[in-house]
Amino acid sequence: MIDFRYHLVSIVAIFLALALGIVLGSTTLSNSVSDTLRQQANSAAKTAQQARMDQRRIERQLRGEEQFAAGLAPQLVADRLKGQSLVLIETPGASNDSIEQLSELAKNAGAAVSRATASSSRLTRAPTRRRARYSPAPSSPRTPRKPVGRTPPAVPS
């Protein structure tokens, strides 16, 4: 039979080994894990800093190009649309500022500008392809071709 003292010594040995493993594992692992985490954090910070610098550079470039276009556009379009009527169709989500700029540019070109607002999503979504099925070509010229199936609806004016 197992003696109580032998049982107690084996349980204490197990817990000592467990505690020693935890202490050794946490100290050796913590250095390598913390080094890896520091490297990853530094790398992420450098990447974020580079992205911010790129964004600022691109924004400066865009502002310069917009200033160039704004300065040159009136000279390029002067009297190009003289006597023409132009309808601007404003779609949902379009910024009012861009529409005003486009309208002003068209007026500088000499066009009479009208604005329309497209409030229906039916007017702004991409058209779906409908296939009309037709009967084969007639064998004699006196038989007209008849569409088979539904014909596309007429576009409202």
pLDDT tens over the chain, length 157 residues: 678 888 889 999 999 999 988 887 777 666 777 788 899 999 999 999 999 999 999 999 999 998 998 888 888 888 888 888 888 888 877 778 888 888 888 888 888 888 777 666 665 566 666 555 554 545 545 555 555 555 556 666 5
Closest to 56 (Cα-Cα) out of 48, 46, 44: 48
Question: What is this structure's pTM?
Answer: 0.44
Phi, psi (5° rounding) for residue 150? Answer: -85, 140
| Token pair in block for residue 100 | 């005003």
| Token pair in block for residue 12 | 């204490």
Question: How far is it between the farthest Cα atoms of the chain?
Answer: 115
The DSSP secondary structure of 50-78, one letter per residue, reads: HHHHHHHHHHHHHHHHHHHHHHHHHHHHT
